[in-house]
Structure 1
């Protein structure tokens, strides 16, 4: 769905893939740490571009923040090995390890680097950062986490991901805060079941890939650009369907995993947490609709300065993906009845 791969960067894509496999399949914390470091060193050449100052700045910021998180993680691992029998300190070390992993995935309140780096990346690199780069820290977090600490982090992610999108004109930053909000749902799913987390992550990756493909296709990075672009009505419909699905509005497929998570949380008496997650998702839906407002409400063609030309094969792929997004909840509902 994206621009073709550069042959010079294929090697780093393979390393990125295998470094994640090393992290999640290792039987020691040192092996996990080595996999995370290889992942960091393979992702930087992918996002760095000597012809673009924004990508160079983003790669430097990403390296510094990830290095701080890695140093903190390594320190906690060594400290844990030294104080193996001290049960009083184990809880504090657990929280420190969780904080390091949360910082690596861009979770609130350690999200200070995430929107700034997203702003300097292409849509394809944004897709990798919002999906693949979260796999290793999330799986490592599922091995070893403090339940009460994780609930606080879920609330932080939900609130900051929704409120942070206000007063933003950049679509990439809005998608970054959307990713932070969706991270709260992923962490909630991880507390319930790893299979549920994998299901939510797969659907989120599917929806975010469609959104990044559409924005890359029409070459849009800011909300006000949609005002000047003469887009086909089908593209507007695809954007609207997938944005609402990403926000979790029924009857779209994005609501299905959230529906399951809400049921599990309500059955386990997490009423206040469920209320916060639902209300923040409604705020996020408002921000998504704001993206489409300029292109849907202003249809006077003399105001449109730029004409978009789209390749048919790419367009048909996006239409098929959007049909799955639109009918997915209905089909899955009949399947589970």
Structure 2
């Protein structure tokens, strides 16, 4: 099994799922806010672990940051109802509501909490934080957005996600900055179409889930473990495919949604934004390839007593899913013929 859960945690997972449905199906901002609060209160018991100081600290930080964002959102919603006729104030409140939702999803420049909290969580909780916890804020953002403000946010996400990951040695923080960079693509797709965002989000969740599965089974948290531990060559190849797919390199499946988003951005004459996002993706690929180069080339550092034997049947499934990633170029080619 990927993780072990007792009945209490299953209950909180159930509440987490339904809190998202409450928010995205609500017809008022108060209903959305209530759904966000239920989501917050159901996620904290999942990440809190009394036996781990880091997770307890992460749960407290997460509570404080999300509470500040929720208070700001509620304050802005109340003021919006009072001052709806004043256009200038309404425009300011639009930016403030957008900022609150961006803080909730860990977007730059409100990302200060995201890498620190990720460092204290397990791989499964990281997977939830990087995927499911972004659904509600992004959908709410699509209801009430300021396009010019979001273009600046997209550029910041793209640059900070790429540059911030260059100096990281922790795999969890590396995945956090990768998530921030991918958030720029998600917000771009959300500005164009909600269906396009769902399409990109599906592929992103697929790639992140494989990475979290792999790191969980191999018990890896730092980059140096990739070349100090004696890992099966097939697993290293699986890591290679998934890292390059996450970076959006053709012919892997991660390139497929990015190619579609680039096409739509160019059709909307957002040439400068597209250029920035592509350049930052190249930086992401640079530090992914740097990690993989070390993993494949430093074989002389293998230690016999650190050899890992992975006999779990789930590893066969992960390897299969990894090699499905190679089909990305075939899908892309047939779609645009």
**For residues 156 and 301 of structure 1, do their structure 2 counterparts lie closer, same or farther at Cα, with a shift above 3 Å needed?**
closer
Give the 3 Å change call, closer, same or farther, for CA 61–297 of structure 1 in structure 2: same
Tell me, yes or no, if the aligned pair for 2:155 and 2:273 is still in contact at 8 Å: yes
- For the pair 1:125 / 2:112, whether they are aligned, the reply is no
Q: CA deviation at 1:319?
A: 1.5
In structure 2, C-alpha distance between the alignment counterparts of 1:181 and 1:283, rounded to whole Å: 11
CA distance in structure 2 between the partners assigned to 1:239 and 1:93 by the alignment: 44
Deviation at 1:138, TM superposition (A): 0.3
CA distance in 2, matches of 1:91, 1:40: 28
* Contact 1:227 1:304 (8 Å CA) reproduced: no
Q: Which residue of 2 aligns with 1:37?
A: 37
Runs of 4+ in 1 over 6 A off after TM superposition: none
Give the distance between the partners of 1:320 and 1:7, measured in 2 at CA. 31
* Structure-2 residue corresponding to 1:203: 203
SS at match of 2:295: helix
Distance in 1 separating the partners of 2:302 and 2:185: 43
Instruction: Tell me what 1:295 maps to.
Output: 295
- Rounded Cα–Cα distance in structure 1 between residues aligned with 2:301 and 2:287: 25
Deviation at 1:8, TM superposition (A): 2.6
The equivalent residue for 1:7 is 7
CA contact (8 A) 2:241 2:323 kept: no
8 Å contact 2:245–2:254 — kept in the other structure?
yes
SS in 2 for 1:220: coil
Q: Could you tell me whether the CA contact under 8 Å between 1:228 and 1:305 is conserved in 2?
A: no
Greater CA drift, 310-319 or 214-223: 310-319
Name 2:138's counterpart in structure 1: 138
Report if the CA contact (8 A) 2:169-2:223 is conserved: yes
Specify every segment of 5 or more residues in structure 2 that has no aligned partner in the other structure, as ranges: none
CA distance in 2, matches of 1:247, 1:321: 17
Which residue pairs with 1:270 in the alignment?
270
**1:85-108 per-position Cα deviation (integer Å, ceiling 9, x unaligned):** 112211000000000000000000
Cα RMSD of the aligned pairs, angstroms, is 1.3
Q: Is the 8 A contact 2:256 2:331 kept in 1?
A: no
Does the 8 Å CA contact 1:223/1:294 hold for their aligned counterparts? no
Aligned ranges 1:172-321 → 2 under 5 Å: 172-300=172-300, 302-303=302-303, 305-321=305-321
Secondary structure (helix, strand or coil) at the match of 2:281 reads helix
Shift of 1:305: 4.2
Q: State the match for 2:19 in structure 1.
A: 19
Aligned to 1:162: 162
CA distance in 2, matches of 1:224, 1:243: 16
Per-residue deviation, 1:332? 4.7
Counterpart of 1:113 in structure 2 is 113
Gaps of 5+ in 1: none
The question of whether the paired residues in 2 share the 8 Å contact of 1:103 and 1:110 is answered with yes
Q: How far apart are residue 307 of structure 1 and its match?
A: 1.4
C-alpha separation in 2, matches of 1:217 and 1:233: 15
d(CA) in 1 for partners of 2:25 and 2:302?
57
Partner SS for 2:165: coil
Whether the 8 Å CA contact 1:228–1:304 is kept in 2: the answer is no
Equivalent residue runs for 1:30-69 within 5 Å: 30-69=30-69
What is the deviation of 1:167?
1.4
- Equivalenced residues, count: 337
Q: Distance in 2 between matches of 1:250 and 1:124?
A: 28
Question: 2 CA distance for matches of 1:302 and 1:56?
Answer: 35
Residue 298 of structure 1 deviates from its aligned partner by: 1.1
For the residues of structure 1 that align with 2:44 and 2:269, how far apart are their CA atoms? 43
